């Protein structure tokens, strides 16, 4: 059982920010009434990762995908075994630099890396560019 230790504070009756400290013990763990409603155990590996041997995590830097809910410092779950088809969010290497963008393949087979932020322009992938796809983004993890 955890115990709360009272903190000794000097009381200044002229300060409106000081509040009474209640030194009673407050339970901070189980058992909980919610345990009667537990239906199953949730395994995040099963929920988020389809192909463990082909999956990796990467942290996002930049703002080019914010309109799709991908923000700076988010963690992306990327699956290298999935096909990178039109409309998928992918991790690509373009001229030696990693990027996360939505893949668009036009009717002529041209590849475009499309940001989801109006401040950025799509990138047409040309034969002169070093280009490879490192996987399809399956999930985004970010703090609230």
- The catalytic site residues sit at 64, 101
Angle among Cα 95, 96, 100 to the nearest 5 degrees reads 85
DSSP, residue by residue, 7-27? ------TT-TT--PPP-----
Quote the CA–CA distance of 101 and 67 in Å, as a whole number.
11
Q: In what order do the strands lie in the sheet with 89-94?
A: 55-59, 75-79, 131-141, 89-94, 97-105, 111-114, 123-124
Contact partners, residue 54, CB within 8 Å, separation at least 6: 79, 80, 81, 135
2 half-sphere exposure, CB direction, 13 A CA radius: 6
């Amino acid at each position: 059982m955890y115990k709360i230790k009272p903190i000794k504070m000097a009381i200044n009756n002229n300060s409106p920010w000081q509040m009474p400290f209640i030194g009673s013990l407050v339970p901070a763990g189980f058992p909980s009434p919610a345990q009667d409603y537990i239906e199953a155990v949730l395994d995040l590996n099963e929920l988020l990762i389809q192909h463990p041997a082909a999956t990796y995590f990467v942290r996002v830097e930049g703002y080019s995908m914010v309109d799709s809910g991908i923000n700076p410092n988010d963690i992306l779950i990327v699956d290298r075994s999935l096909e990178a088809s039109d409309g998928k969010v992918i991790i690509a290497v373009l001229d030696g630099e990693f990027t996360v963008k939505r893949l668009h393949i036009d009717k002529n087979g041209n590849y475009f890396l499309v940001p989801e932020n109006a401040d950025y322009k799509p990138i047409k992938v040309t034969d002169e560019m070093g280009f490879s796809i490192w996987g399809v983004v399956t999930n985004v993890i970010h703090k609230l």
